[in-house]
Structure 1
Amino acid sequence: MMTVNQVIPCPVCKGDIPFDARQLILGVKFSCPTCGAGIGLAVDSRSHVDQAKQKFQMVKDFNKK
């Protein structure tokens, strides 16, 4: 998985919150540089993300054959 810095609109002030997708998936929270509001992956969502990563890896492995 490539690490790419991205931005997501702040839910409070609509400014840009820079984040790293890999770190977000790992549970790191990110703050808006303008207003301080934070974003993070909900604990309830982590199992869904893990399942999606496993399925993606299966597809990648299958395509290598």
Structure 2
Amino acid sequence: MVNEQYIRCPDCGSQIPFDPYALARGERFACPQCPALSIGIDPSSQEIVNNTLNELENLKKSIGKRMPDSPSS
């Protein structure tokens, strides 16, 4: 996963890897130790999450444009 993040499983404490963009699209992610448990976003919240992720990406781009280029090696 390109944008892999982790959330702790509430049952066993294992790390559940997930991609926030895939999560926002409605995908669910299972705990590697407790396969019956999966995380997801309620469909009614998907638009809010998508808007927030878009704002985050725009902020990252804006900051990147203001940062000086790193010196060449």
Superposition TM-score, scaled by structure 2 size: 0.62
Question: How far did residue 50 of structure 1 move?
Answer: 3.9
Structure 2 segments unaligned to the other structure (5+ residues): 66-73
Higher strand share: 1
Secondary structure of 2:6's match?
A: strand
Q: Counterparts of 1:50 and 1:5 in 2: how far apart (Å)? A: 16
Residue type at the aligned position of 1:18: P
Q: Counterparts of 1:50 and 1:18 in 2: how far apart (Å)? A: 19
Question: How far did residue 4 of structure 1 move?
Answer: 1.2
Q: Share of identical aligned residues, percent?
A: 34
Which residue does the alignment assign to 2:33? 34
Moved over 3 A (4+): 50-54
Considering only CA atoms, is the larger Rg found in Structure 1 or Structure 2?
2
Superposition TM-score, scaled by structure 1 size: 0.68
Which residue does the alignment assign to 2:48? 48
Q: Counterparts of 2:9 and 2:22 in 1: how far apart (Å)? A: 18
User: Which deviations, in whole Å up to 9, do the C-alpha atoms of 1:13-53 show, x marking residues without a partner?
Assistant: 11100111111111100000001110001112113224435
